[in-house]
């Protein structure tokens, strides 16, 4: 089981990139991630390295997603540049794809709603806390599968939802449809993988 997450390496303007480092980056050099809890601005900061040289950090909004995966021997985390040839000494950031893969696939099955191809607005009801995550998707069941996969991997983008999963498990999360949307309306109004309102 794995997931690929698109993000950026940022902060390149704060380091002095040598010509040799730039050439390595342009040739798609091997990148390494390291959690840096001593960072005074972000305890979830993740540095990005070429060899022993730190070139920047994973974008802050994504860094906390990868912290658990980096700390656990159950997952493999790899990162590669999406546009290596575009990196110059004037670059402030560049796009990367981070792949998180479970060495042994977690046993988890996402709930299914009916009708099977339904799209629209859905709610994840957290039975223990009474909170709810509200989202929308063209295909709700596909989106639920992604939610359960990412929570099982420990890398769900919603930190509170991930914490709830860790503390209480999937049996205390109930998926339900709030509003179904016809196929024709979905094509115009409903963007996949966007949520209308995050976990309160």
The pLDDT tens digits of the residues spanning 106-127 come to 667 888 988 888 899 999 999 9
Burial class (CB in 10 A: 0-12, 13-18, 19+), 78: middle
Looking at every residue in the chain, the average pLDDT score rounds to 84
Q: What is the pLDDT of residue 105?
A: 60
Q: What are phi and psi of 90, to 5 degrees?
A: -100, 0
Q: What is the pLDDT of residue 90?
A: 92
Query: Could you tell me which of 1, 57, 6 has the C-alpha nearest to residue 32?
Result: 57
Judged by average pLDDT, the poorest of 48-62, 72-86, 139-153, 181-195 is 181-195
The pLDDT tens digits of the residues spanning 38-61 come to 999 999 999 999 999 999 999 988
**C-alpha torsion 160→162→165→168, nearest 10:** -40
Is pLDDT above 50 for 148? yes
Is pLDDT above 90 for 103? no
pLDDT band at 188 (very low <50, low <70, confident <90, very high): very low
Q: What is the pLDDT of residue 162?
A: 85
Q: What is the pLDDT of residue 106?
A: 60
Q: What is the pLDDT of residue 195?
A: 38
Compute the Cα dihedral for 134, 137, 141, 145 and give only its sign. Answer: negative
Q: What is the pLDDT of residue 183?
A: 59
């Amino acid at each position: 089981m794995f997931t690929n997450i698109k993000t950026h390496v940022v902060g390149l303007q704060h380091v002095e990139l040598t010509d040799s480092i730039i050439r390595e980056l342009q040739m798609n050099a091997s990148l390494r991630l390291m959690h840096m809890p001593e960072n005074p601005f972000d305890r979830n900061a993740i540095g990005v390295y070429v060899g022993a040289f730190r070139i920047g950090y994973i974008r802050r909004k994504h860094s906390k997603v990868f912290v658990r995966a980096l700390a656990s021997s159950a997952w493999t985390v790899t990162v590669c540049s999406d546009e290596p040839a575009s990196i110059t000494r004037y670059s402030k950031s560049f796009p990367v794809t981070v792949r998180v893969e479970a060495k042994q696939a977690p046993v988890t099955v996402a709930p299914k709603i009916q009708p099977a191809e339904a799209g629209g607005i859905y709610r994840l009801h957290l039975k223990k806390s009474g909170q709810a995550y509200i989202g929308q998707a063209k295909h709700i069941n596909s989106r639920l599968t992604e939610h359960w996969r990412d929570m099982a991997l420990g890398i769900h983008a919603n930190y509170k939802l991930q914490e709830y999963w860790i503390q209480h498990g999937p049996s205390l999360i109930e998926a339900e449809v709030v509003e179904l949307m016809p196929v024709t309306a979905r094509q115009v109004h409903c963007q996949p993988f966007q949520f209308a309102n995050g976990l309160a």
